[in-house]
């Protein structure tokens, strides 16, 4: 008899009728070629679904006292079938020769490559790791204290103008040293590391930094730095020169020479700019080195005693013992722009290409 027809509405008859409908549904749910969408449309469709047709037919023919019970049982049956659909849809389908041909070539997976900036930064860091340096990391959103004050940039000092930064809004109610800004160099990690660790300390610090610079071929408001810090007893400027000379030879080749010129940085004294012999012409002079035979690459210097004093003062505020007595310890620091080195290494003329996300450009480095 058609399951949509029902004339006996006794409890035993209803039990048999509902069991028959559920069994019919389970047979289709267990089919090897089960199609969840087709089943839902055929059984659970609001207008022409099988459950809708049976429900309408039985309720129309049922006496008034049986309608409520039939409605409740249909709701329970619907929930059972819906759960069965979810289970059947999640069931793994058996593979067949018709769907998989193992003789066909596989689909080649495109292997990604490091961005030239990240690759260059890792190569620089690796050079210093081989020299015994640990890697230090820190937040890009810093306080004025870590980014400026502790590094001997007093409030309103002209040196801050060279590192005009992007400030976080609504900080006016905070004390000046606690106001948030985007870090202009990775030097705050040096301060954080000295607060947490006692000397000796040897750190290389890679990361992204931000400055309020107008974008052009050689400048970007976002760029990358690698900085270094070495603190111990009897650290001298000769140690600094030897370290950087060795690092430049490791990175650019053993034939590269270095030379140092006096400079100024608030957090080092004495300070120096470091030049390397032109890697394009071998120091003979070319257009890329402006026919000088040298390329300016990074800044460095001996850590200013004021920085060590600021660190010890902050350690005391934090309840820690001072550890950076300038009568006993000394250190040097250095920093270089990763973007400029990457542009030199790969012959890139516009820094904007490094941040454009243009796959045509980036695929050249894969």
HEC readout, 150-209: HHCCCCCCHHHHHHCCCECCCCCCCCHHHCEEECCCCCHHHHHHHHHCCCCEEEEEEEEE
Residues listed for the chain: 366
How much is the average pLDDT of 204-224?
90
* pLDDT for res 364: 85
CB contact at 8 A, 352 and 217? yes
Percent with pLDDT over 70 in the chain: 96
Question: In Å, how far are 6, 39, 49, 365 from 62, measured between CA atoms?
Answer: 8, 27, 20, 76
Least confident range of 19-33, 244-258, 311-325: 19-33
Q: Which pLDDT value is given to residue 96?
A: 47
Query: Residue 118 pLDDT more than 50?
Result: yes
Mean pLDDT of the chain: 88
The Cα–Cα gap between 84 and 26 comes to 8
Residues 141-170: what's their mean pLDDT? 84
Output Rg (C-alpha) for the chain, integer angstroms: 36
- Maximal C-alpha separation, the chain: 107
pLDDT in tens, 164-182: 778 888 888 898 889 999 9
Residue located via tokens 């820094």 = 351
pLDDT digits (tens, 9 = 90+) for 89-104: 887 765 545 567 778 7
Using one digit for the tens of pLDDT, what is the confidence trace for 301-353? 999 999 999 999 999 999 999 999 999 999 999 999 999 999 988 888 889 99
pLDDT score of 214:
83
- Residue 81, H or E segment: helix 64-90
Its pTM stands at: 0.67
Q: Is the pLDDT of residue 294 over 80?
A: yes
pLDDT value of residue 200: 94
What is the per-residue pLDDT for 237?
96
């Amino acid at each position: 008899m058609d399951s949509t027809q029902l004339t006996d509405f006794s409890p035993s008859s209803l039990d048999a009728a509902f069991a028959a409908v559920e069994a019919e549904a389970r047979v289709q749910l267990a089919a090897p070629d089960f199609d969840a969408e087709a089943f839902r449309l055929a059984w659970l469709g609001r207008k022409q679904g099988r459950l809708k047709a049976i429900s309408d037919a039985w309720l129309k023919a049922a006496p008034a006292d049986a309608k409520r019970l039939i409605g409740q049982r249909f709701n329970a049956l619907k929930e059972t079938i819906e759960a069965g659909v979810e289970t059947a849809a999640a069931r793994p389908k058996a593979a067949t020769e018709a769907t998989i041909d193992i003789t066909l070539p596989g689909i080649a997976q495109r292997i990604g490559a490091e961005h030239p900036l990240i690759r260059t930064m890792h190569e620089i860091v690796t050079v210093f790791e081989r020299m015994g340096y640990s890697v230090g990391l820190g937040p890009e959103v810093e306080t004025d204290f870590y980014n400026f004050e502790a590094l001997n940039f007093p409030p309103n000092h002209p040196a801050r103008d060279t590192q005009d930064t992007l400030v976080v809004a609504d900080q006016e109610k905070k004390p000046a040293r606690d106001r948030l800004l985007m870090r202009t160099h990775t030097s705050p990690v040096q301060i954080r590391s000295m607060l947490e660790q006692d000397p000796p300390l040897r750190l290389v610090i890679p990361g992204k930094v931000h400055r309020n610079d107008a974008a052009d071929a050689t400048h970007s408001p976002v760029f990358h730095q690698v900085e270094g810090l070495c603190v111990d007893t009897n650290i001298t400027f000769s140690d600094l020169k030897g370290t950087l000379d060795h690092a430049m030879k490791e990175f650019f080749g053993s034939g590269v020479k270095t030379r140092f010129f006096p400079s100024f940085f608030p957090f080092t004294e004495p300070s120096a700019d470091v030049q390397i012999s032109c890697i394009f012409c071998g120091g003979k002079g070319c257009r890329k080195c402006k026919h000088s035979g040298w390329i300016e690459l990074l800044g460095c210097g001996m850590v200013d005693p004021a920085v060590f004093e600021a660190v010890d003062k902050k350690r005391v505020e934090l309840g820690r013992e001072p550890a950076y007595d300038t009568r006993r310890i000394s250190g040097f620091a250095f920093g270089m722009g990763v973007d400029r080195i990457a542009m030199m290494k790969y012959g890139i003329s516009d820094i904007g290409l490094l941040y454009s996300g243009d796959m045509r450009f980036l695929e050249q480095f894969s």
